[in-house]
Amino acid sequence: MKHIDLEGKTILVTGAAGFIGSNLAERLCKEFKDIQVIGFDSVNDYYDVKLKEYRLNKLSTFENFKFVKGNLADKELVSRIFEEYKPSVVVNLAAQAGVRYSIENPDAYIEANLIGFYNILEACRHNPVEHLVYASSSSVYGGNTKVPFSTDDKVDNPVSLYAATKKSNELMAHAYSKIYNIPSTGLRFFTVYGPAGRPDMAYFGFTNKLIKGETIKIFNYGNCKRDFTYVDDIVEGILRVMQGAPEQKTGEDGLPIPPYNVYNIGNSNPENLLDFVKILQEELVRAKVLPEDYDFESHKELVPMQPGDVPVTYADTTPLERDYGFKPDTSLRDGLRKFAEWYKEFYK
């Protein structure tokens, strides 16, 4: 593992108006001396743009943060950013997210997740970087039934196009690591949640519906288990990984041994969806987002599984602990409490 000192460096964070990207950019700006963070995002309207603007407004208070609005699929623009700013470390978090949306809008996924990622790889090839860190997803495990999910498992059964694009990212990164000796690390995130998160995620969508008095649908009759990971844990994991790149070595064939790694970042503690909803309700009442006498039972509907969904996600995070000394540990109650308090504040 090669240690990378982030002080005084230029870091490119794509998806900087996004949930994870904005939290990462904020910590980088706050914690590292003489760092310059270049944030890149298309600020599309896949969900409420007000949330993205809220996150960018927070970042605009940092003098060492610069925002560039643009589309990753625009190869010329991506090349220009690399040539102009010469980032040492690139964290690619920009992607078209969401499993269900990929069923109706495949174009968005091919453009952002395949062409966009290809443009990043090409830019890293022509403007060498110390480390490329990129977001993969727990969805690559698809129909796997062996739990917990290990990065040693075969992942050849994607159940959504979104998952297929994320698996493709790992394969593309591997090829570029091998041919051009680009140190790259992929991170498979497990159900990330927290304040100012994504409204298309269950906890946020449930909250929006309960406030309006609508019914929430609980899939697979509540028998889904998810490894919910609090956003601060994800960001801490990314920060540690950024600072330790896979070693560049030459193999017997005279070619690079690909400086390539993939890790899970999850809570390795899957929670049943019904328990999750119960804790969310309690915290929404506690934060006075919902009244104490709210009748939850009448607003719940248990429904069958959705296409593209999987019954369980469960991360084996042993390699992350071994190599970076880190394991996510925020409890679901603590995380949902912070979300409920933020929600109360943001939506008044």
DSSP 123-171: HHHHS--SEEEEEEEGGGGTT--SSSB-TTS-----SSHHHHHHHHHHH
167: tokens are 């698996």
State the Cα–Cα distance between residues 134 and 121, nearest whole angstrom.
11
> Would you list the DSSP string of 95-121?
----TTHHHH-HHHHIIIIIIHHHHHH
The one catalytic residue in 46, 101, 141, 162 is: 162
Of residues 75, 54, 65, the one with CA closest to residue 24: 65
**Any alpha helices (H) in the chain, and if so which ranges?**
19-31, 49-59, 75-85, 101-104, 106-109, 116-126, 161-180, 202-211, 231-242, 273-286, 318-324, 332-347
Taking alpha carbons only, the member of 189, 177, 273 closest to residue 225 is 273
Is 162 a catalytic site residue?
A: yes
Signed CA dihedral, 318, 324, 329, 330: sign only? negative
| Residues 6+ away with beta carbon under 8 Å from 295 | none
Q: Which residues are catalytic?
A: 162
